[in-house]
A = this chain, B = another copy of it.
Amino acid sequence: MKTVVVRNIQRADAKASASLETLGVATVHEALGRSGLMKPYMRPVWAGAQIGGPAVTVMAQPGDNWMIHVAIEQCQKGDVLVVGCTADNTDGMFGELLATALQARGVKGLIIDAGCRDIKALHEMGFPVWSRAISAKGTVKATLGAVNIPVVCAGVNVEPGDVVVADDDGVVVVAKKLAIEVAQKAEKRFADEDGKRKRLASGELGLDMYNMREPLKKAGLVYVDKPEDV
């Protein structure tokens, strides 16, 4: 890893990013062809937030948050900070002070593949964080990493400027060159779902709405009347 900070990154289309933020993780992930989703161990430290925006990326060392301090200077209003780590680590690399600094710059939230602390204060400030752990474990500032290089975070490769969307269901990443196309697909999907919701709410079965009876039969599904008939 080069210990480097890239100053100028290209951010994904702002309008597409705003649309993806509104649609939420599950819809965006489906529109992406069911890819780009971070591992489910990434959970919000407080529930109810929904954010989306271009990624500023950090590769940090375990137990060391030096590069997060470095990254803050590279953040702009509306960004989402994404922190990967060179080894599995749950130390509390992030807390109230760093959140204060990020909030001052208009950053929307943090995605960190490590631990987070001061979660009560973060909730009161309204600064959302998705992390792999909650831990008060203090960290050092001793070893370099990098800022705005591609990083793997919770199983997904994130390039600087990619759109990151996060809500109570998890975190999904959309490559910046796909943002507009995916936003359109996601909007269409969302519109379609509303119709389906109404039909299902009225009692129609998915078996009929999706025309599944024939393919199920073809695949070999058999109906019997009683347990003894199995």
Interface centre among A34, A143, A223 (most CB of B within 10 A): A34
- Closest Cβ of chain B to A8, distance in Å, is 6
Question: What number of copies of this chain does the assembly contain?
Answer: 6
- Chain A contacts with B in 57-104, Cβ cutoff 8 A: 59, 61-64, 66, 69-70, 72-73, 86-92, 95-98, 100-101, 103-104
Contacts of A143 in B (CB 8 A): 140, 142, 219
Given A5-B222, A90-B88, A169-B134; A148-B227 close (CB under 8 Å):
yes
Give the A interface residue count (CB, 8 A). 102
Contacts of A86 in B (CB 8 A): 34-35, 37, 137
Contacts of A136 in B (CB 8 A): 25-26, 29, 37, 169-170, 172
- Nearest CB in chain B to that of A99: its residue: B200
Q: Is A168 an interface residue (CB 8 A)?
A: yes
The listed residue (B1, B33, B169, B216) touching A33 by CB distance below 8 A is B1
Contacts of A89 in B (CB 8 A): 62-63, 87, 89
CB atoms of A227 and B152 under 8 A apart: no
Contacts of A196 in B (CB 8 A): 97
Contacts of A137 in B (CB 8 A): 29, 34, 37, 40, 86-87
Q: Is A16 an interface residue (CB 8 A)?
A: no
Q: Is A212 an interface residue (CB 8 A)?
A: yes
Q: Is A157 an interface residue (CB 8 A)?
A: yes
CB atoms of B3 and A66 under 8 A apart: no
Q: Is A54 an interface residue (CB 8 A)?
A: no
- Distance in angstroms between the alpha carbons of A28 and B40 in the assembled complex: 31
Given A4-B230, A222-B4; A205-B40 close (CB under 8 Å):
no
Contacts of A98 in B (CB 8 A): 206
Q: Is A167 an interface residue (CB 8 A)?
A: yes
Given A7-B223, A212-B66, A221-B144; A2-B91 close (CB under 8 Å):
no
